[in-house]
Structure 1
Amino acid sequence: MRETIIKRLSECTLVEALEAWNKGFEGYFIDATMTLDAFLARMVNEGLSPALSVVAFVDGKPAGIVLNGVRTIRGDKIAWNGGTGVAQAYRGQGIGKKLMQASLDIYREEKVNIATLEAIRANAPAIELYKRMGYSIVDRLAVLQHKGMYESSAEQKAYYVAVTGRTQEAARLPFYEAMTAWQTQWPSIRDGELLVLTDTDGQEAAYCLYRHGFDSSGAHVSATLFQCVVKPGRPDRDKLVRCALAHTFGSPRELTRRAFNLPLDHDAVRLLLSAGFELTSEQVMMTRMLE
């Protein structure tokens, strides 16, 4: 009879953790495999904790993994499942459930108030598992991409004053949306930028969080949008969104432009699709309240 043991990632070697991750995502919807350097970078950049993450071993061999992180957001402790994977040879044997249960137990130890995760919408077995573990779908998220030139007129930028700053400055805005998908929150965009649009009365009316990418020669090659938020109650919402997109994506260069995990019903998604962006992936955001 096979013996299954769940360990904290902090009790494992890095090689074991990486093997659990890469085997756990074999045959996945996207290529999620990583090198050791990429794995370590992701742990750091997305606030994932070895002490809170878990690895499953079957007869001493890495068989599955769940990466976890915890942040305090407006007084609540929020946990994020940053990836659940089970090696193909062990799928359908209840290992995913054991990993999820171990994660929930850790969340309770850490006095987490809300557990969150995102899952690819087409991954029905995973979503069903999460529902059995008490999670509910609270939003649908879109990942969009566009390559080449992007048309944005100077007129779209002319209505408001645009001020840029550090991503962490978004938290001071009274309409900052803190409970978005984990990777779109400002602590996960450390090398990104904040764009704030101010109206003619000097009132802050909208903001974006985004990141520009550069190649080894320093050339600007990509732009990724993570949040595009308009202050509630603004009658000029559509104009603000158009202006924000023009500032984020407008460039005479041929770039790879992406919008990552925006709510599917967001005005920005509609406008980007009409501008030639393609929907490359759709996810669901799920949450679970903890006692």
Structure 2
Amino acid sequence: MVTFKRLHEVPMKIVLEAWEKGFEGYYVNLSMPLQAFVTRLTNEDLLLDLSNIMLDGDKPIGINLNGVRSADGQVTGWNGGIGIAPEYRGRGLGKLLMEESMKAYLEAGVHQATLEAFVQNKGAIKLYEKFGYVIKDKLLHMSTMNPVYLETEPGIDSSFTTIIDMPIAASRLPFYNRAGAWQTQWQSAKGGQSLIVYLGGEPVGYAIFRHNYNPQGELVSIALYQCEVHSEQASSLQIYKYMLGQVFDPGKGNAKKVVINLKESHTELVAVLREAGFAAEVELVYMEKTM
């Protein structure tokens, strides 16, 4: 008999087992050790008391992770993963997990629910649409291993003033992008930094990023979460190039450069990144549902 529990009701090793089974044979390898899984829960603000595990007797066979964040009176929920063990797929159990997810959002007072799905996962997309989710955009997870060189107009760099601050500092700017995907928001950049660019004493752009190091203290990757320019700036292209040059400084060695879940509709930034040698590793659909 299939039953459901919230994650805080079961040992964490059982939760991890449900995750491992639920995403076995997935489009990308999502297997991870327990500590990395716990870190992911923390970094993405995924809540144990609003997330669900599906059991067949005592056997974990499915999982759904949910996160909730509030800003400016708007409560947003995020489906951070829904997976079913391979031998239980095709039985309609995903629908049951989605129903549990909707219950959790109603309990939390969610106004808008969001999620992402691999573009090739037609079955999952169809399921989400049945629950009222609508595709709003495509997300590009981009990367390059090459040094990033972006040439700006002569002399323009000297006109900018930059400060490095915590990620939350970017969220206080009037043009901060709250409409980006969940994993691009400042809350997900724990341990990261923000670069804020000023022109004539006024903020004109920002980037949120994080350096990731291996146990030996070597820089292995640089992850860009957001990069935005104030809409009133006519020189937006130059500001984008300047900020990307600062974040992905060629002097930072052979670290992998990653751009997380950038909306394809952000055409100017996408074009600049492609000019710099970035290519999409993964493409996702971005979906929303008004509760």
TM-score surpassing 0.5?
yes
> Hey, what does 2:280 align to over in structure 1?
279
Write the deviation string for residues 151-182 of structure 1: whole angstroms up to 9, x where unpaired.
24585744421211000111210111123211
Q: Following TM superposition, by how much is the alpha carbon of 1:79 offset from its aligned partner in structure 2, in angstroms? A: 0.7
Residue among 98, 101, 123 paired with 1:100: 98
> Hey, what does 1:9 align to over in structure 2?
7
One-letter identity of the residue aligned with 1:289: T
Cα distance in 2 for partners of 1:152, 1:254 equals: 17
Q: Following TM superposition, by how much is the alpha carbon of 1:25 offset from its aligned partner in structure 2, in angstroms? A: 0.4
Structure 1: which 4+ aligned runs deviate by more than 6 Å? Answer: none
Cα distance in 1 for partners of 2:23, 2:76 equals: 25
Cα distance in 2 for partners of 1:22, 1:152 equals: 41
One-letter identity of the residue aligned with 1:261: N
> Hey, what does 1:31 align to over in structure 2?
29
Aligned partner of residue 254 in structure 1, secondary structure: coil
Q: Following TM superposition, by how much is the alpha carbon of 1:43 offset from its aligned partner in structure 2, in angstroms? A: 0.9
Write the deviation string for residues 205-229 of structure 1: whole angstroms up to 9, x where unpaired.
1111011122333233321111011
Gap runs ≥5 in structure 2: none
> Hey, what does 2:50 align to over in structure 1?
52
Cα distance in 2 for partners of 1:218, 1:21 equals: 29
> Hey, what does 2:167 align to over in structure 1?
167
One-letter identity of the residue aligned with 1:279: A
> Hey, what does 1:215 align to over in structure 2?
214
Question: How many residues are treated as equivalent by the alignment?
Answer: 287
Cα distance in 1 for partners of 2:198, 2:274 equals: 26
Contact 2:137 2:265 in 1 (8 A): no
One-letter identity of the residue aligned with 2:10: C
Cα distance in 2 for partners of 1:271, 1:194 equals: 20
* Alignment map for 1:191-206 (pairs within 5 Å): 191-199=191-199, 201-206=200-205
TM-score (norm 2): 0.94
Cα distance in 2 for partners of 1:47, 1:93 equals: 30
Two-structure CA RMSD over aligned residues (Å): 1.5
> Hey, what does 1:288 align to over in structure 2?
289
Cα distance in 2 for partners of 1:157, 1:137 equals: 39
Residue among 138, 144, 147 paired with 2:145: 147
> Hey, what does 1:224 align to over in structure 2?
223
> Hey, what does 1:234 align to over in structure 2?
233
Cα distance in 2 for partners of 1:240, 1:105 equals: 44
Q: Following TM superposition, by how much is the alpha carbon of 1:149 offset from its aligned partner in structure 2, in angstroms? A: 2.1
One-letter identity of the residue aligned with 2:135: I
Q: Percent identity?
A: 37
Q: Following TM superposition, by how much is the alpha carbon of 1:35 offset from its aligned partner in structure 2, in angstroms? A: 1.2
Contact 1:157 1:247 in 2 (8 A): no
One-letter identity of the residue aligned with 2:41: M
> Hey, what does 1:40 align to over in structure 2?
38
Q: Following TM superposition, by how much is the alpha carbon of 1:273 offset from its aligned partner in structure 2, in angstroms? A: 1.3
Contact 1:147 1:255 in 2 (8 A): yes
One-letter identity of the residue aligned with 2:141: V
Gap runs ≥5 in structure 1: none
TM-score (norm 1): 0.94
